[in-house]
Amino acid sequence: MPVPASNLYPSFNTVRLSHACLNVADLVVSKTFYTKILGMQVSDETDSHIYLRAMEERGHHSVILQRSDHPGTVEVMGFKTYDEQDLDNAEAHFSAQGCPTEWVDRPYQRRTLLTCDNIGIPLEFYHKMDRLPSLHQQYALYQGVKPLRIDHFNCFSPDVDASVAFYNDIGFRVTEYTEDEESGRLWAAWMHRKGGVHDMAFTNGTGPRMHHIAFWVPTPLNIIDLLDLMATTGYVRNIERGPGRHGISNAFFLYILDPDGHRIEIYCSDYQTVDPDHEPIKWDLTDPQRQTLWGAAAPKSWFEHGTNFVGQTPRESDLKATPIIAS
């Protein structure tokens, strides 16, 4: 199935991805990992929640850690809209698609629309979030991998073609994609709003599940420093894949797991895609450099492990094409 032509005039405008709420078992353990190892900054914390942001971020939070009896699940993924009217337009759009909509109260966010996409990924949209003083030049606060900002989500979808069509309709544009030549179907796709390679990506597999959440860092050397830190602070087993460079996106990468099994990508060196007529790049599933331009091939866990969304039962994909997997 061909990649759909970009919808440059969607019914509402999404600026970018914003945040995710991750369910965890132990806030103390998770706080240590996200602050001392990753290097995120605490915006606020309660007995049940910790709100975190990265060093460039002026919004109150990009990660919410929520204490839960169901750790290792994802509560919601958040996106920012261009203006307030877009929230009403989004409600009308999702309602017309048969998706549930609800106005919810979220700390530090103004009016927030809770809904879901076509495969059940819980989404929330807001326009205003509390703003905090800049930390970007407070270099004494930098630690861990020195994350600058949240970069993207990647999710398993049982039907990547359907997911791409759904997000294309709300203005997300495909930058790169992997096609299974035998079936002509999409195996994976990268879609953006903010002018990078992706805000949201989809990988074929049992879903909906979150594959990973990614954070942008200044240089590949930050990733090397993180590996040394994790190897000497009891987190060496949390290193899953990398470092290496993707063919897709050109990104220098590392994949790690947090204490509850949420996969995190540390990411830098992709490219701009701001032109509205930017043409997507096609990759064949059998091309060994699509996922790893150089570096070790991805382990089996990278294709199978994901974290469930609260209230959703994942279903298997009927596309059984297989990429290259490390032995």
Residue 156 sits in a domain whose CATH number is 3.10.180.10
**Distance (Å) of CA 276 to CA 9, 110, 174, 194, 248:** 11, 30, 11, 11, 20
- Residue 190 has what pLDDT? 98
Note whether 164 and 292 are same-domain residues: yes
Indicate whether 8 belongs to any domain: no
DSSP output for 47-74 = SSEEEEE-TT--BS-SEEEEE-SS-SEE
Indicate whether 303 belongs to any domain: yes
Give backbone dihedrals phi and psi of 194, rounded to 5 degrees, phi first. Answer: -90, 0
List, for residues 291-313, the tens digit of each pLDDT value: 899 999 899 999 999 999 999 99
Note whether 201 and 94 are same-domain residues: no
**Distance between CA atoms of residues 326 and 221, nearest Å:** 25
**Distance between CA atoms of residues 217 and 176, nearest Å:** 21
- Residue linked to tokens 């420093």: 225
- Residue 1 has what pLDDT? 63
The total domain count for the chain is: 2
Number of continuous H segments (helices) and E segments (strands) in the chain = 5, 18
Indicate whether 182 belongs to any domain: yes
Note whether 269 and 231 are same-domain residues: yes
pTM: 0.96
Q: What is the DSSP letter of 196?
A: S
Indicate whether 324 belongs to any domain: no
Indicate whether 247 belongs to any domain: yes
List, for residues 189-201, the tens digit of each pLDDT value: 999 999 999 999 9
Note whether 115 and 152 are same-domain residues: no
Note whether 157 and 195 are same-domain residues: yes
Note whether 127 and 151 are same-domain residues: no
Note whether 155 and 265 are same-domain residues: yes
- Residue 68 has what pLDDT? 97
- Segment holding 88, helix H or strand E: helix 84-96
Per-residue pLDDT at 210 exceeds 60: yes
List, for residues 19-64, the tens digit of each pLDDT value: 999 999 999 999 999 999 999 999 999 999 999 999 999 999 999 9
Note whether 230 and 88 are same-domain residues: no
Strands 14-24 and 63-67: parallel
- Residue 324 has what pLDDT? 65
Note whether 282 and 236 are same-domain residues: yes
CB of 302 closer than 8 Å to CB of 254: no
**Distance (Å) of CA 235 to CA 37, 69, 70, 71, 274:** 9, 24, 22, 19, 37
Indicate whether 71 belongs to any domain: yes
**Distance between CA atoms of residues 171 and 162, nearest Å:** 15
**Distance between CA atoms of residues 203 and 186, nearest Å:** 9
AA identity, residue 254: L
Indicate whether 323 belongs to any domain: no
End residue of a domain, out of 131, 155, 170: 131
- 55 lies in which domain range? 14-131
List, for residues 224-263, the tens digit of each pLDDT value: 999 999 999 999 999 999 999 999 999 999 999 999 999 9
Note whether 153 and 298 are same-domain residues: yes
Average of per-residue pLDDT across 260-268? 97
- Residue 323 has what pLDDT? 72
End residue of a domain, out of 107, 131, 155: 131
Note whether 240 and 107 are same-domain residues: no
The encoded tokens of residue 322 equal: 């297989």
Indicate whether 9 belongs to any domain: no
Note whether 219 and 156 are same-domain residues: yes
